[in-house]
A and B are shown apart, each in its own frame.
Chain A
């Protein structure tokens, strides 16, 4: 029985491997995302956006000597087990030269630690926001096109101090997003001389948060800083805080900058509510991407689609620049997006290809930002503080 089973397994293995022998002319990059698992609803749009970048490359002359760029989709299931499994297959079986993803921070940490860093494959994650990713000993192979939660938390703290907030209470959702933001915020706010009068995590999906709010309010702060999602638990908390008068002023992170609170609670009740959010919103690159993605049948407002597109397009540019040499991709990635050179926008592959061939420096201006990577491979986000006006959210000030 055992030998028969082993034979069957071996047969299956061989069959799939024979079937997956690649055509010689393909250049592959891995698109590893949380297809199944907790972010299953977000992942398809992100993968579609990355695929759009690949389509642009192939429609405009292909990569290197006109070869086809192929995106190999892997499922990280949003956990370390799936992340390492998908990355191992992408690197070893498919032979990818770079990876876009994984989507979740835990999967990024595991896949880089056990697979891609030892194998020397560049990883560009479009949505791993955990500050831990900055600290990976990565030989400069781990990048991201989404700002670390650290940046937003710190920028928000500085801006609030400038605007005269002295004493605040912080409530955050208990996941890596909320924890990362809240801790960065607390550190910077206190360093700037502010006082944190309450600091507590909450689990999502409860019916009432009044006891949490009462405890936070007992510290005597008149401002609640809320790191949560405006179409979920954050809305419940905001409503209950308003109804019961626990706090006078409210501040949210980017998750709270959603239309749900305005629709549900009314703009007139949110006069003291401000929220921070990334701004790529006015750039020409973003308009271009929105038009292109809509044309391809995608929803440009879906979360992380801009960062996914940029990650894939940057990976392709770096591959072209490095001449398809895996070892040179990391250095090339920094070169194609260091703020110096001829600007390249989303979809401008043929122009970029010509410039690279001519040896001219290029600088990719992405849909989600300029992507000038720092020493850790992180991008500084550009954020602004928003208030609720007559027509939805309006910018009050840029955050630095």
Chain B
């Protein structure tokens, strides 16, 4: 094993952590700050990934798209498309509360997945779209990975700063007020439905961006990538573990969970060959165990929601919101 190999692996993990951090940040806007239980992350992830794929791939027979546009346009369009899909969904589903909303969003994500899997002319159905351009893709392996990581890290930083700024503004304070006590917020004259829709769309756009980054990193997108296990529930685990309501927590959660997910396989590979295949499942067990331990001993997450001046006594609320 050479240091260059380790470096490459670290670069790869950094890119994946960045992509998942975007998804976790998007979810943090919806759940951490607006209290919307969105269990359909995979749907918005998919819309973003496929929008960008359709716009930036080379023309192909039998499906629309293949406009060969630069990836930047694809990424912006991915955010717009995810937001545009989120609008009618939010308009209908956000009238549901907590667990009902979760069921509705799971259903919506499955609908999106099945449409993508079946729609030949739009998404090339089950075969997916391949041959996407990758930023810095022509560079040699290590340089290309490093450049992509820099790009992803820059995007995560910009998104983090913008979201953080938004949370500390009056808008963020209002969102927390709606989350913690809807009736009081309504009595203060806040338009609760409209504000929730805002948060839902805002989060969905960032998830769409994460999907677009993922598709271009792999140069392909197939329906297998939008499996709820890896595109929805893994993100939830990251946010809960990192600390919902805290943007740095969302990023840290993505880093910790992905590192454990990925590195634990290297550890299980040290077992004798007879067990190595069976041991792959230890990864799933480890993530579950970690979540249990965090919920039991540190239910507010690794980095809890910062106590702000306006909600010094809301510790109990936070605990409840994490456990519900």
Contact = CB atoms under 8 A, between A and B. Distances in A.
Interface string B248-275: 0000100110011111011101100100
B224 interface: yes
Contacts of A44: 277
Interface stretch (A99-107, A272-280, A353-361): A99-107
A168 B96 CA distance: 48
Given A114-B219, A132-B127, A35 B224 contact: no
A30 to B, nearest CB: 11
Interface in A83-116: 84-86, 88-89, 91-95, 104-107, 109-110, 113-115
A78 interface: yes
Interface stretch (A1-9, A281-289, A340-348): A1-9
A296 B1 CA distance: 32
Nearest to B9: A92
B232 interface: no
A335 interface: no
Contacts of B62: 183
B266 A17 contact: yes
A20 B269 contact: yes
Interface string B45-62: 000000000000000001
B221 to A, nearest CB: 8
Contacts of B280: 35-36, 73, 75
A176 B116 CA distance: 12
A72 B4 CA distance: 19
A106 B281 contact: no
Interface string A43-62: 11001000100000000000
B70 interface: no
Contacts of B269: 20, 72-73
Interface stretch (B31-39, B84-92, B128-136, B158-166): B128-136
Interface string B207-233: 000000010011111111101001000
Contacts of B118: 174, 201
A89 B12 CA distance: 9
A16 interface: yes
Given A110-B225, A135-B130, A174-B118, A20 B220 contact: no
A79 interface: yes
B117 interface: yes
A13 B259 contact: yes
Contacts, number: 178
Interface string B1-39: 110111011001000100000000000000000000000
Contact of A89 (B117, B125, B265): B265
A377 interface: no
B154 interface: no
Interface string B123-152: 001111011101001001100110000000
Given A78-B224, A79-B230, A106-B224, A85 B16 contact: yes
Interface of B: 1-2, 4-6, 8-9, 12, 16, 62, 114, 117-118, 120, 125-128, 130-132, 134, 137, 140-141, 144-145, 214, 217-225, 227, 230, 252, 255-256, 259-263, 265-267, 269-270, 273, 276-277, 280-281, 283-284, 302-303
Given A79-B224, A84-B218, 18 more contacts: A12-B260, A13-B263, A17-B266, A77-B230, A88-B8, A91-B5, A93-B266, A104-B224, A106-B225, A109-B220, A113-B130, A114-B134, A118-B141, A137-B131, A174-B117, A174-B125, A176-B127, A180-B127
12 contacts: A2-B252, A9-B256, A20-B266, A22-B1, A43-B277, A79-B230, A92-B9, A93-B1, A106-B223, A174-B125, A178-B126, A180-B126
Cβ-closest 8 pairs across A and B = A113-B219, A106-B222, A106-B224, A110-B218, A92-B5, A109-B220, A118-B141, A92-B8
Interface of A: 1-2, 5, 9, 12-13, 16-17, 19-22, 35-36, 43-44, 47, 51, 72-75, 77-82, 84-86, 88-89, 91-95, 104-107, 109-110, 113-115, 118-120, 130-132, 135-137, 174-176, 178-180, 183, 201, 203
